[in-house]
Amino acid sequence: MRNMKKTTVLAILCLLVVSVFAFTGCSRDDDAPTTTPEQREVTPVPPPPPPPPVEVDLLEDEGILAIISEPATLNISWWGMDARHEAIIDALNHFMDIHPHIRVNYGISGWDGYHDALTIQIMAGQAPDLFAYSTMEIVNYAPFLIDFNEYMDLFPFLEERRGLLNTSTYMVGDRVVSVPAGLGAHVGMFNITLFDQAGIPHPTNDMTILEMWDLQEQVVAALAEQGTNAYVSGGWYWGPGWDSHRTGQRDPHWVDFTNFETQPPVFRPNMDELRYTWTRVERQWDLGVLPRAGDEEVSFAMHNALFANSVNPTAEMEQTTHELGIFLEPRRFSATCPVIVQSPGPGLNWGISNNSDNIYHTLFLLEFLQTNPTAVQRIGFNVGTPTNPGALAALRETLEPGSPEYQQLQIVEMSREGVDIWLDRPNVAGMAEATRAWRGVFEEWVFGLIDIEEYLERVIPEMQEAVNEFFIAQGE
């Protein structure tokens, strides 16, 4: 981690030499490959069979029906773990079972390096027809994406979500450039066995961040008296993230987006609030509640250690043998704070390349993935909670009350209730660069290279410098 920048540069150089994504024909084989792009070979694509009549209930425009009745080959890419890969591939196979005249090739990988490779493809004019991407990249990718507004009157799965899509989460300027694969609420996970062993009450959906921190310390202290190290034993912790500030739970207006289309945002946080929060984090490091530097299981921002917060806990649960409980991540910092949250965010965004030769076929595929009951059920929660009403109903009927999936659906719905303030912030040029600058300083602090005073002294100026430099570069 200390050599993160060097590693990133080397990775990009390697990607320039090696093929950035290998697309493989998505067949109806039950053992469809889930290897990374570097391991996969390109499978020759046989000529598509003669097109059968397109059987769809949602599309009515005869011109579009004629277009998508023609043979086509589409490329799609996304990132994730094996569970997500297998689920989407299963849905794609179902699509091709019904529409064999449309071939779908896919490129998959983990998170690391995905956007570096995708960016190279986009800049080379070789982007996949349909690809997943992070909201952090929405401003950078927007010029290369279609505007979904132009197709809403033609595709009902877009029209029925017009209100959702025409919000800042999915827009750059007046263009809708992304469609959510699914929405997620940050969910907390905890080790039921260790909580019970410690004799500490389980977390509840109405707790604040401060109450969560108190619970952590109580569990660790109780287990220490029994000679058990909660973290080493697979215990639960609440990771220190930037989210409590970015969502405004203590400082709602710390970023000034006035005239954001022509001027860089200005960072004006309350430094006393920042100091309070991060001093509490250091206290938990000292008490052994949170792991810090030197632990091989700690990844960046500590969100991937044994138990943390997640937008997809059911997938996380499949990766561990521990019995986990889930609860709604706190939406208030303390009992005196209002409930201030960002608009429900996507687990990942889908974008369609404006360089695609098959935009209507690609929209047809995306509609299928988000509305076909079988496809929706096969994908499940692996890309978040569905946003189309019909898809949500199709998924709900497959869930067993009390199951982790059922709990997750309840929590996602609950997360949208009782909100005092929705923070619907625009996607602003330079914010991705500012976030990367913060990560660099944060990493130095996590690994003990700087103390909290230097961290607080540097973090905001370096974020501001990064976003200012981006605006200057755009004007040159």
Q: pLDDT (tens digit, 9 = 90+) per residue, 314-367?
A: 666 666 666 777 787 778 888 888 887 766 667 689 999 999 999 999 999 999
Amino acid symbol at 49 = P
- Is 9 exposed, middle or buried (CB count within 10 Å of its CB: 0-12, 13-18, 19+)? exposed
Domain 187-343+421-475 bears CATH identifier 3.40.190.10:
yes
More confident residue, 322 or 407: 407
The C-alpha atoms of residue 137 and residue 117 are separated, in whole angstroms, by: 13
Which whole number is the average pLDDT over 37-47? Answer: 37
What per-residue confidence (pLDDT) applies to 130? 98
Phi and psi, residue 190, nearest 5° = -140, 155
Residue 292 pLDDT class (50, 70, 90 cuts):
low
Q: Which is higher by pLDDT, 10 or 83?
A: 83
Residues in contact with 363: Cβ distance below 8 Å, sequence separation at least 6, in sequence order: 151, 155, 352
Domain with CATH 3.40.190.10 in the chain: 4-182+348-398, 187-343+421-475
The mean pLDDT value for 388-415 works out to 78
Cβ–Cβ under 8 Å, residues 99 and 64: no
Q: What is the mean pLDDT of the chain?
A: 75
Q: What is the pLDDT of residues 420-433, one digit of tens each?
A: 877 766 777 788 78
Considering the segment(s) 4-182+348-398 as one domain, its CATH architecture is 3-Layer(aba) Sandwich (3.40)
Whole-number CA gyration radius for the chain? 23
The per-residue pLDDT for 344 is 65
State the Cα–Cα distance between residues 368 and 378, nearest whole angstrom: 12
Per DSSP, 152 falls in state T
Q: Which residues contact 146 (CB under 8 A, 6 or more apart)?
A: 177, 351, 352, 353, 354, 356, 359
pLDDT, one tens digit per residue, over 84-100 is 899 999 999 999 999 99
Q: For 182-219, what is each residue's pLDDT tens digit? A: 876 667 777 788 888 889 998 888 888 788 878 878 88
Instruction: Report the pLDDT averaged over residues 137-166.
Output: 91
The C-alpha atoms of residue 181 and residue 212 are separated, in whole angstroms, by 30
pLDDT tens for each residue of 168-192: 788 888 899 999 988 766 677 777 8
